[in-house]
Structure 1
Amino acid sequence: MMDDAKKLTAWGMDDGVHDALSLKPITTPKQQIELLRGKGVTFERCAEERALEILSNAETYLHLSAYRVLFQRHKDGPDAGKFVSLDFGDLLDVSFLDDVLRETFRLMAKDVERAVRAWLVSEAARRGEDGYGIVADFVSSLPRGFREGLRRDLVSRSQADEYAGSLIDHYRDAVPVWVLLEVVPFGTLLALYLFCVERWDEVGRREIHYALKDVKAVRNCASHAGCLCNGFVPERETRHATSGVALEWLNAHGIRNSKGRRARLRNRRTQQLVTTVALHDMLAGEHAAPATLDAVAGLRPLMDDAIARYGTQNPLVSHLAFLARVLDAARG
């Protein structure tokens, strides 16, 4: 029989609500600071009182502590397992860098999305497509579940979406392609892009469709404020191949195949970020939003500062240096 003192009620994606043992208890900000101290984190660059305020009101322990994987630990001796010269201020600095990195790439992804929408509408018009018929053909081509999900989403939003609802409702009886593209999520946009590429026999653009999935992944991470930099560690190496579109772009911009390039591109997050830069340059190019260009310009000094501060012992540095080189290549 379970010990009531240790039993907790939990919800799981597989088992639903159930009794569970040996789960981590919720902690207060003070307890979180003690946990960090126990791991060797210091509070010199950021005083403990300030850290307490941050953990209470501004940022969660889970989010900030996620960046500790980037820092070295003592391998042996009395401090084995504890971090080497890691201060709470370092976690804040990396978190801030991550915020700026994510926002920059969110803007880049938005530029790419807009460029894809513009190309689809203009190309459909150039080819003499019926703007309504192409939507009918596209929706009819979708699997039943996808098709019904799209319909339910649009019907619901036609009444509840403050921003796009009136547009959706106005065209509910006959949806043209230029409206559909304005109101569907990125995933549906990609499905429509592939449908059109195949319909028009645009063989060269099929590879772009698959590369756009990387842009979508980056956009989702950035939009939902997930951690990005904590994935720049050797443990996150992937067997997933880098997009051929991105590799060709790197070659064309002087970042040739090398041991260093291959090492960086074994990281899935770096793959996706590089692909986003490549597609932004290819599809948005000189039409990039000024806010995006300003964000890239503001990001670069932060990257350089982190590279200079943390040195080669931090895996973050090699990935930042590679990304900096890629961004500079895109800026010409």
Structure 2
Amino acid sequence: MSVLLQEKIKPILSVDEQIEKLKENGVTFKYISEENAKKYLTENNYYFKLTSYRKNFLKKEVDGKEIYIDLDFSYLQDLAIIDMELRYLLVELSLDIEHWTKVYLLNLIQRQNEDGYKIVSDFLNTLDENQYNRLENEILRNKNSIYCEDLINKHSDLKKYSVWIFVEIVSFGTLISFYRFCGKRYNNKMMENNHFILKMCKSVRNAAAHSNCIINDLNANTTSLSTNYSVTKELSNIKSISKTTRIKKMSNGRIQQVVTLLYMHKKLIPSEGVKKNAAKRLHIFSNRIKRNNAYYVNNDLIKTNFDFLNVIIDNWYTVD
């Protein structure tokens, strides 16, 4: 084993050692005891995930060592809980988006008097061999699923599936590709634009569904992707958000994806009942963000990003 490889390997720390490591790095325990912090790390979360939120805090040099500024263990704990609730919320909203994408597609195809079988075959014919094989494997993996085996086992040939079965058994990613295909087929510019928005929704949905941290890095300039024009235009209608703030906050890839998903849900879903439920859930989340505002009064990065999300929720999702 090379010296370089040895240097990269970090030892597994006991919970006691984890607490000591945090203290060495400047983390305080003013609002939660060390014993309760140990219990939290044992029963509710784990060190690697919890400490990832430290990226949102500044450091200073003390005696030749960099330590975090104004970072208490309770702040990390609070951010982890907010992140968990945000992940659950994003999954719920993305399920709405996926469902109404299917509804929109099937209604559109019906209005076009399409053959419900030929359109699937035509889409599959646009795939190269590798793409087709990946899709086939994707579907066959669910062949023994109690939820869709009856749909998949109806036909052995993908090209014989009807469109109403096809949209039920493919992944969200394949559904988005099919959505784009239909947009091109009908020369629908809105659908071609929405295709890129849906891809961003899928990215944050997948992260949330796999329990990846969402808000553990809120720093600007973490994405090279431009915000979709439609999303930017909608944000520009919020007068309390300046152009400078909008550009800066949307340069963070995580915030960009979350806001894009909120936009898509707002624009795509026709059901007033679903919109009201989404608004209710979002405002509960917004209130949760505000619960411990005092923690972040000296942390401009967290405070301004939370304010940004709260203003968007207030403007896009009103409650009675």
- How does the TM-score come out when normalised to structure 1? 0.87
Alignment of 1:159-238 (within 5 A): 159=144, 161-173=145-157, 174-234=160-220, 236-238=221-223
Q: Aligned to 1:67, which of 47, 53, 62?
A: 53
For the 8 Å contact 1:232–1:316, the answer to whether it is kept is yes
* Per-residue Cα deviation, 1:103-131 (whole angstroms, up to 9, x for no partner): 21221111111111110011001110111
Alignment of 1:34-45 (within 5 A): 34-45=20-31
- Segment drifting more, 274-283 vs 306-315: 306-315
Q: Which amino acid aligns with 1:63?
A: K
Instruction: Report the RMSD for the aligned CA atoms in angstroms.
Output: 2.2
Q: Aligned to 1:90, which of 61, 75, 92?
A: 75
1:242 to 2:227 alignment: yes
Alpha carbons of structure 1 residues 128 and 254: separation in structure 2 relative to 1, 3 Å: farther
Q: Which amino acid aligns with 1:56?
A: T
What fraction of aligned residue pairs are identical, expressed as a percent?
28
State the shift of 1:79 in Å: 8.1
* Per-residue Cα deviation, 1:265-291 (whole angstroms, up to 9, x for no partner): 121112111111111110015352665
Partner of 2:111: 126
1:273 to 2:238 alignment: no
Q: Which amino acid aligns with 1:223?
A: A
Q: Whole-Å Cα distance in 2 between the matches of residues 287 and 253 of structure 1?
A: 24
Alpha carbons of structure 1 residues 233 and 252: separation in structure 2 relative to 1, 3 Å: closer
For the 8 Å contact 2:50–2:76, the answer to whether it is kept is yes
Q: Which amino acid aligns with 2:147?
A: Y
Alpha carbons of structure 1 residues 261 and 289: separation in structure 2 relative to 1, 3 Å: closer
| 1:81 alignment partner, SS class | strand
| 1:42 alignment partner, SS class | coil
Ranges of 4+ aligned residues in structure 1 off by more than 6 Å? none
| 2:291 alignment partner, SS class | helix
Q: Whole-Å Cα distance in 2 between the matches of residues 256 and 143 of structure 1?
A: 45
Q: Which amino acid aligns with 1:125?
A: Q
* Per-residue Cα deviation, 1:282-304 (whole angstroms, up to 9, x for no partner): 00153526653332121011122
Alpha carbons of structure 1 residues 153 and 238: separation in structure 2 relative to 1, 3 Å: closer
State the shift of 1:167 in Å: 2.3
State the shift of 1:165 in Å: 2.2
* Per-residue Cα deviation, 1:108-162 (whole angstroms, up to 9, x for no partner): 1111111111100110011101111111111111121111111122223112x23
Question: Which runs of no fewer than 5 residues in structure 1 stay unpaired?
Answer: 8-19
1:297 to 2:246 alignment: no
Partner of 1:328: 314
- Segment drifting more, 166-175 vs 203-212: 166-175
Q: Whole-Å Cα distance in 2 between the matches of residues 81 and 108 of structure 1?
A: 40
State the shift of 1:210 in Å: 0.6
State the shift of 1:55 in Å: 1.9
Partner of 1:101: 86
Question: Which runs of no fewer than 5 residues in structure 2 stay unpaired?
Answer: none
Q: Whole-Å Cα distance in 2 between the matches of residues 27 and 289 of structure 1?
A: 46
Partner of 1:14: none
Q: Whole-Å Cα distance in 2 between the matches of residues 79 and 314 of structure 1?
A: 25
- Segment drifting more, 92-101 vs 301-310: 301-310
State the shift of 1:99 in Å: 0.9
Partner of 1:15: none
Q: Which amino acid aligns with 1:68?
A: R
Q: Which amino acid aligns with 2:173?
A: G
- Segment drifting more, 161-170 vs 60-69: 161-170
1:110 to 2:95 alignment: yes
